[in-house]
Chain A
Amino acid sequence: MYKLILFIKRIAAPLLFVVIEVLAIGYYTSANSFTRARLLTLSNGVTGEVNAAFSSVGDYFGLRSENAALSRRIVELESQLATLVESPTHVRISSEEIAPYLFAEARVVKNSVFAQHNYFTINKGLRDDVEANMAVLTPEGYVAGYVIDCSERFAVCMSVANRDFTMGGKGVHNDYMGSLAWDGDDYHEVKLENIPHYADFAPGDTIVSTVSYRFPPDRVIGYVEEFTPSIDKMNSHLTVRLAADLSRLDRVLLVKYMDGEELNELQGKY
Chain B
Amino acid sequence: MQRVIEYILFFVTVVLLQALLFDNLMLSGLIVPLYYVVFVVLLPVKTGRIWLLLLGTLLGAVMDISMGTAGLNTIATVAVAFLRPMIINISMGKDVVHETIPYGGAIAPNSFLLYAAIMVLTHELIFFGFESLGSHIFYTLAKVVLSSLVTVVLVTLTARLFRRIVG
A110 CB–B CB distance under 8 Å:
yes
Q: Are A13 and B26 in contact (CB under 8 A)?
A: no
**Contacts A17-B53, A24-B78, A111-B26 given; does A43 touch B19 at CB 8 Å:** yes
- A26 and B33 CA atoms in complex are apart in Å by 25
Do the beta carbons of A47 and B20 come within 8 Å of each other?
A: yes
Contact of B70 among A17, A36, A110, A111 (CB under 8 A): A36
B66 at the interface (CB under 8 A from A): yes
Contact B68 A12 (CB under 8 A): no
Q: Mark A16-47, 1 if CB is under 8 A from B, else 0.
A: 11001100111110010001110110110001
The B interface is mostly helix, strand or loop, or mixed, namely: helix
- Stretch from A66-74, A93-101, A114-122, A222-230 at the B interface: A114-122
> Which residues of B from 77 to 104 have beta carbons under 8 Å from A?
78-79, 82
Check A13–B23 contact: CB distance below 8 A: no
**Residues A119 and B68 in contact in the complex (CB < 8 Å), given A24-B60, A28-B130:** yes
Contact A20 B70 (CB under 8 A): no
Give the A-B pair count, Cβ closer than 8 A. 94
Cross-chain contact A39 with B70 (CB below 8 angstroms): yes
A interface, over-half SS: helix
Binds A, one of B35-43, B132-140, B148-156: B132-140
B53, A13: Cβ atoms closer than 8 Å: yes
Is residue A50 within 8 Å, beta carbon to beta carbon, of the partner chain?
yes
- Min CB gap A59→B, angstroms: 15
- Contact residue range for chain B? 20 to 34
Q: Is there contact, CB below 8 Å, between B19 and A20?
A: no
Given contacts A24-B60, A43-B19, contact A36 B26 (CB under 8 A): no
Task: Please give, as numbers and ranges, the residues of chain B lying within 8 Å of A13 by CB-CB distance.
Answer: 49-50, 53, 82
Whether the pair A12, B20 counts as a contact (CB closer than 8 A) is no
Residues of B within 8 A of A14 (CB): 82
Task: Return the CB mask of A98-110 against B: 1 if under 8 Å, else 0.
Answer: 0000000000001
Which chain A residue shows the least CB distance to B20? A50
Per-position 1/0 for A55-87, Cβ under 8 A of B: 000000000000000000000000000000000
- B74 at interface by CB-CB < 8 Å: yes
Docked pose: A184 CA to B135 CA in angstroms: 9
Do A27 and B20 touch (CB < 8 A)?
A: no
Closest residue on chain A to residue B135 by CB atoms: A184
Check: B125 CB closer than 8 A to any chain A CB: no
A110 to B24, CA, bound (A): 7
Determine if A51 and B53 form an interchain contact, defined as CB atoms under 8 angstroms apart: no
Query: Which residues of chain B come closer than 8 Å to A43, judged between CB atoms?
Result: 19, 65-66, 68
A247 interface residue (CB < 8 Å to B): yes
Provide the bound-state CA to CA distance between A186 and B139, in Å. Answer: 11
The chain B residue sitting closest to A114, CB to CB, is B29
B73 and chain A: residue at smallest CB distance = A24
B32 at the interface (CB under 8 A from A): yes
B166 to chain A, nearest CB (A): 26
The verdict on B131 contacting chain A, using a C-beta distance below 8 Å, is: yes
B75 (CB) vs chain A CBs: closest residue? A24
Contact of B70 with A27 in the complex, beta carbons under 8 Å: yes
Give the 5 A-B residue pairs with the shortest CB-CB distance, closest first: A28-B71, A31-B70, A40-B68, A13-B49, A27-B71
9 contacts between A and B (CB under 8 A): A24-B74, A27-B74, A35-B70, A36-B70, A114-B29, A116-B132, A117-B68, A117-B69, A187-B29
Name A residues whose Cβ lies closer than 8 Å to a Cβ of B.
Answer: 12-14, 16-17, 20-21, 24-28, 31, 35-37, 39-40, 42-43, 47, 50-51, 54, 110-117, 119, 156, 183-187, 247
Which residues of B are in contact with A by a Cβ distance under 8 Å?
19-20, 23-24, 26, 28-29, 32, 49-50, 53, 57, 60, 64-72, 74-75, 78-79, 82, 130-132, 135-136, 139
